[in-house]
Amino acid sequence: MAEKFGAKSTTQDVLTGVDLRGKRILVTGVSAGLGVETARALAAHGADVVGAARDLEKAKRATSEVSKTAAENGGSFELVELDLANLKSVRTAADKLVADGRLFDVIIANAGVMATPFGKTADGFETQFGTNHLGHFVFVNRIAKLIKDGGRLVNLSSSGHRFSDVDLNDPNFETTPYEPFVAYGRSKTANVLFAVEFDRRHRDRGVRATAVHPGGIMTELARYMPDGAIEAFLQQIQEQRAAAGEPPYEFKSIPQGAATSVWAGLVAHVDEVGGKYCEDCQVAELIPIDSQVSAISRGVRGYALDPESAKALWKKSEELVGEVFA
């Protein structure tokens, strides 16, 4: 019987006894936090890891130990430049990987931004939707043929998907008042829906996709929030949880936060996680429509897993980026 992991499980816990030599894995966002730890954990078990980052110099500094760990354990580590907020950069990075031709066992779409002030990407998309969803949508689809038969895609979403469903009528807040966490919620819901539709389109060749919530972790992700905002937000969450009879919220360590990505991509049975949303190294339970829960409680909203919404988002995303993916 497979070992049961949970909220406190670390990358080391879920990878104990797992030999990743010969596995080639791509991780986006390896210049800080979860991306660095994910790459380190995979390299420590012998994987050949390709890390993608917007700022290569920052990524080189952040992953110096990852390179050493890879060399010591029979794996390898290399970097590619990828700015998800610029589709020219996205397409250039994807084209280089396709030209290289080497296949991947797993892609972990880890990079992202949170609660940014209103802004636009280089291509005119709202920053969070454009970076978190559309950048990965184009990048992953352009290199999809590099995923080996039987491989996996892991999209990092968040419990923040509960802040909002996607809005395909106004994805760039052209008519809707901008709220940083509503925009974040839309992008994180999109990450789940992208996994749902990618899973449907590629499962015939054994390629499966899943979305994961890493948990609350103190990383650079909160760098756009003003001073005191995190503390005020956490106090509000604690009050909501207390009113709902839930225990106080606890932040995870970075190794605990990266564990679900690694578990879903390399440890869990593929049929268990394919097309699903996972958290705490488990498949999340569906939250009833009328259930009142805090934004960072457990579970997934049904709209994030709706297959028709996933198809509609895919079509809208193709229209926005001007590219159709078979």
Q: What is the pLDDT of residues 122-170, one digit of tens each?
A: 999 999 999 999 999 999 999 999 999 999 999 999 999 999 999 999 9
Res 282 pLDDT > 70: yes
Mean pLDDT of all residues in the chain?
Answer: 93
Pair type for strands 147-156 and 300-301 = unpaired
Model confidence at 76, pLDDT cuts 50, 70, 90, reads very high
Greater model confidence, 239 or 20? 20
Model confidence at 31, pLDDT cuts 50, 70, 90, reads very high
- Running DSSP on this structure, what letter comes out for residue 186? H
Q: Is residue 247 part of a domain?
A: no
Model confidence at 220, pLDDT cuts 50, 70, 90, reads low
Q: Is residue 308 part of a domain?
A: yes
Q: Is residue 234 part of a domain?
A: no
Pair type for strands 282-283 and 48-53 = unpaired
Domain region containing 39: 11-227+254-320
Res 221 pLDDT > 60: no
Q: Is residue 246 part of a domain?
A: no
**Distance between CA atoms of 60 and 229, rounded to whole angstroms?**
31
Q: Catalytic site residue 157?
A: yes
Identity at 244, one-letter amino acid code: A
Nearest to 92 by CA among 76, 81, 103: 81
Q: How many CA atoms lie within 13 A of 95 on its CB side?
A: 6
Q: What are phi and psi of 171, to 5 degrees?
A: -65, -20
Two structure tokens written together for 75: 């794996």
Model confidence at 1, pLDDT cuts 50, 70, 90, reads very low
Of the chain, the percentage scoring pLDDT greater than 90 comes to 84
Output b/e per residue, 59-72; b: 16+ Cβ within 10 A. beebbeebbebbee
Q: Is residue 325 part of a domain?
A: no
Greater model confidence, 306 or 249? 306
**Distance between CA atoms of 47 and 64, rounded to whole angstroms?**
16
Q: Is 273 exposed, middle or buried (0-12, 13-18, 19+ CB in 10 A)?
A: buried
Two structure tokens written together for 156: 């990092």
The per-residue pLDDT for 240 is 77
3-class state of residue 85 by DSSP: coil
**Distance between CA atoms of 9 and 84, rounded to whole angstroms?**
30
Q: Is residue 216 part of a domain?
A: yes
**Distance between CA atoms of 171 and 180, rounded to whole angstroms?**
13
Model confidence at 186, pLDDT cuts 50, 70, 90, reads very high
Count of H-run helices and E-run strands, the chain: 12, 10
Catalytic residue of the set 67, 157, 187, 261: 157
Res 286 pLDDT > 90: yes
Q: What are phi and psi of 155, to 5 degrees?
A: -100, 130
Asked if residue 103 lies in contact with residue 148, where contact means CB atoms within 8 angstroms, the answer is yes
Res 64 pLDDT > 70: yes
Q: Catalytic site residue 291?
A: no
The per-residue pLDDT for 242 is 81
Catalytic residue of the set 23, 188, 252, 276: 188
Pair type for strands 48-53 and 277-279 = unpaired
CATH code of the domain in which 283 resides? 3.40.50.720
Q: Is residue 1 part of a domain?
A: no
Domain count, the chain: 1
Report the alpha-carbon angle 55-212-302, nearest 5.
130
Catalytic residue of the set 23, 184, 252, 261: 184
Q: Is residue 312 part of a domain?
A: yes
Mean pLDDT of 30-54: 98
Task: Kindly report, residue by residue over 301-321, the tens digit of the pLDDT.
Answer: 999 999 999 999 999 999 999
